[in-house]
Amino acid sequence: MASTKVPIELSSTPGIVDNSNATAITIDSSENVALTGGLTLANSQYLSSTDASSNAPRMLGINSGNTTYIAPIDAYAGGDVYYGVSANVANQAFYTAGSERLRIDSSGNVGIGTSNPTSNTLTIIGKYLLLSDSQTKLGDYGIIGGGAADGNSRLEYYAGKYFSITQSGTERMRLDSSGDLQLGSSIGNGTYNGSINAVANKSTGAIIKTRNGDGNKHWMVIGDSNIEYGSIGLTSPTGTGLLQIQGESGTVFTRSGGTEAMRLTSNGEFLLNRTGIFGTGNTCSAFIQGKSTAAMYVIGTNTSGYQLITFFNGGLSVMGSITHNNTSVTYGTSSYYRLKENVVELDGAIDRVKLLQPKRFNFIADAENTVDGFLAHEVADVVPEAITGVKDEMQEEEYEVTPAVLDEDGNVVTEAVMGTREVPKYQNIDQSKLVPLLTKAIQELSNKVDNQQVLIEQLQAEVALLKGE
């Protein structure tokens, strides 16, 4: 291989001249070397220098090829490697593809994906932080562990299975792949499969406890008002703090097994052992479906005269009550004289009683039993206060034409089709309202009997006189 002669220029600042007679390398009086162009090294070559005190390598090596390595060369085993040792170095930044990727600022703060890391932190700006215990599980499993004080506390991610929080070696929370959140002591137990599951053995306090920081009373759980929803919480900030349960179309209470036991509709109707009211005309506050023995038991105290049920009108005045004396029940209605006016004697009772037309009959629903009674519209002309309703009156009733279609979870897929029809509105009779008329009729009959008895005695005396007795 032919050699190339390179001229050397001798002056106060010696230099090496290239083939174009231009200075390529300059050495100044302080022995600093300056290159006019770039420096190219052959493969596997490097630059190095030594520390005058220890002869330890201090420069960097560079390997060419598809990969560029910048690393300490031949550092002593167990020795330290320093980057940016000079006090003039304020920040160190690392670039790829022309963009800064990592920075260490003059205070030692580290930023990844940012050139302005937050004080006293490792600041990472990016979409994901992937941690793995091995290259084979990268992206499938991640863990962020606790510090030296509590190495058993961690955030854990397992792709396709769950995300969990462990404290002092005990798992406290898990969010599984179905979106169900589990808290407490039975995490991972398939028995508890609700959207939020909290299981704990609490001798005092609550399994789930909520508190509003501003001291006001607000909802504890509230649903989305854009769809069917339900809420549980306390009354408004100006309320009394009573527990409030609210549903879009009512509130339902179920017994074990999911069977509905009680319902409060959106119209304020209370349903016990029923799932709905019957008939649009049967508007009322409570519907109670009886059991095999009875629909309701009312239990009072042993105090005689105790009111089992008391009835009030809209003005909250007592209208009547059901009381007991420990052996029997009294059905009472208001009859105090101070509540009445225009009091007059009842006359012509016998004539009115004669207008009543007692009958014997059976009800269509109970064909086997024949009873004594009245036809309501016949009584209405004689004692109108004993009858409610109008003869042959009709009312509109809502009924189900086609039942609702439910999915396997009991959710309504297709709403029921409802229709209306005309049905009879039956009259009722309170036979106790006949008692005053019947009582007066008996009194009138009694007076007649008494008068007739006097007349009979007079006639008997006259007959005896005529006979000379």
Model confidence pLDDT, tens digit, residues 171-229 = 888 888 877 888 877 777 766 666 677 777 766 666 666 666 666 656 666 665 544 55
Token couple for 303:
């105090």
Q: Please tell me whether residues 362 and 330 are part of one structural domain.
A: no
Q: Please tell me whether residues 372 and 464 are part of one structural domain.
A: yes
For residue 288, which amino acid is it? I
Q: Please tell me whether residues 306 and 230 are part of one structural domain.
A: no
Q: pLDDT value at position 14?
A: 59
Q: Which of 119-128, 295-304, 458-467 has the highest mean pLDDT?
A: 458-467
Q: Please state which of the ranges 60-74, 189-203, 315-329, 421-435 shows the lowest mean pLDDT.
A: 60-74
Tell me if 353 is assigned to some domain.
Answer: yes
Q: What's the whole-number mean pLDDT along residues 115-130?
A: 69
pLDDT tens digit sequence for 244-297: 666 666 777 777 666 778 888 777 788 888 877 766 556 678 888 888 888 888
Tell me if 283 is assigned to some domain.
Answer: yes
pLDDT at 438 over 90: yes
Q: pLDDT value at position 59?
A: 47
Q: pLDDT value at position 229?
A: 54
Q: pLDDT value at position 57?
A: 47
177-205 as b/e, with b when 16 or more CB fall inside 10 Å?
Answer: eeeeebbbeebeeeebeeeebbeeeeeee
For residue 446, which amino acid is it? S
Q: pLDDT value at position 432?
A: 92
Tell me if 284 is assigned to some domain.
Answer: yes
Q: Please tell me whether residues 378 and 463 are part of one structural domain.
A: yes
Q: Please tell me whether residues 356 and 461 are part of one structural domain.
A: yes
pLDDT tens digit sequence for 3-31: 555 555 555 555 566 666 666 677 777 77
Q: Please tell me whether residues 462 and 383 are part of one structural domain.
A: yes
Which of 311, 343, 375 is at the close of a domain?
A: 343
Q: Please tell me whether residues 379 and 434 are part of one structural domain.
A: yes
Q: pLDDT value at position 341?
A: 95
Question: Whole-prediction pTM value?
Answer: 0.50
Tell me if 455 is assigned to some domain.
Answer: yes
Q: Please tell me whether residues 219 and 308 are part of one structural domain.
A: no
Which of 343, 372, 407 is at the close of a domain?
A: 343
pLDDT tens digit sequence for 353-378: 999 999 999 999 999 999 999 999 99
Q: How many CB atoms lie within 10 A of CB 166?
A: 19
Give percent helix, percent strand, percent coil of the chain, each to the nearest 5: 15, 35, 55
Tell me if 99 is assigned to some domain.
Answer: no
pLDDT at 74 over 60: no
Q: Please tell me whether residues 276 and 353 are part of one structural domain.
A: no
Tell me if 351 is assigned to some domain.
Answer: yes
What residues are paired with 329 via a beta bridge? Answer: 324
Tell me if 188 is assigned to some domain.
Answer: no
CA distance to 165, 181, 195, 268, per residue, from 153 (Å): 8, 19, 25, 50
Q: What's the whole-number mean pLDDT along residues 64-88?
A: 55
* Domain housing 271: 256-297
Number of domains in the chain: 4
Interatomic CA distance for residues 59 and 50, integer angstroms:
8
The DSSP annotation for 300-337 comes to: --S-TTEEEEEEE-TTS-EEEEEEE-SS-EEEEE---G
Tell me if 145 is assigned to some domain.
Answer: no
Interatomic CA distance for residues 389 and 397, integer angstroms:
17
Q: Phi/psi at 353 (nearest 5 deg)?
A: -65, -35
Q: Please tell me whether residues 431 and 467 are part of one structural domain.
A: yes
Percent of the chain residues past pLDDT 90, beyond the cut: 21
Q: Please tell me whether residues 370 and 286 are part of one structural domain.
A: no
Q: Please tell me whether residues 384 and 440 are part of one structural domain.
A: yes
